[in-house]
Amino acid sequence: FIVLAIICQSCNNNKNNTEMNEKAEEILGTLYKEVENRDKAINYHAEIQIGGCAFEVYINDLAVYKYAGNDGSGSIGLSAPINSNILRSGMQTWELRILPPVLNGNRLTTIPEGVKIELSIETLKFSGENVKYLSPNPISLITTPLNEKNGRQVYKDAGKTIMIYKGTFPAEVPYSLRGWSESVDLAAEDQEILIKEVIKEYEKFKSLITERNFGKIA
């Protein structure tokens, strides 16, 4: 009787798992059909060329890239996608924080004069492996004032402990998302209560995974 009960329970579990897998497939397997305006999709990238410092780049107050500046003589060149930082069309904000680098194992206390900064926004479209640049020239963001010193140009804010530059740029996207725009500052909330609430949600999700409840996860 016990063996039969175990076999029946196993059959029921397999049946339930199959039904849950089918439910997950039904929800996620057709998700691509809900994608709209695929032909209008524009990929925005932050083009970063910065050397001789540590730095942080933010788009709409969310970090895009951070570099600790572990080699004061080195430089970083990259193209960082930023569409996930853009909720809707219109003016977007950007911020660049320049910080002292690490040189010979020690963090400098001020920003050296040899800092080089180039930050711009590029608009792209991808088609398979091909890339189409939609604008002849990227949107240049950095217009920092330079001073002439010993026959060369250096940034006016060189020698300070931090250089912060901010501004805006336009973006056109075929969507409008709520995202984090209605987020609430939790700094003043009871942290112990918040932790308990977060753990409770994690435990709920953990149970769904343990039970292989793919339908509810989907």
pLDDT by residue (tens digit) across 7-52? 445 555 666 667 767 877 887 777 777 777 666 778 899 999 988 8
94 C-beta neighbours (distance < 10 Å), count: 23
Calpha distance 134→43 (Å, rounded): 10
pLDDT by residue for the chain (218 residues), tens digit each? 444 444 445 555 666 667 767 877 887 777 777 777 666 778 899 999 988 899 999 999 999 999 987 765 567 899 999 999 999 999 999 999 999 988 888 889 998 888 888 899 998 887 767 777 777 677 788 766 677 777 677 788 888 999 999 999 999 998 899 999 888 889 889 999 999 999 999 999 999 999 888 888 88
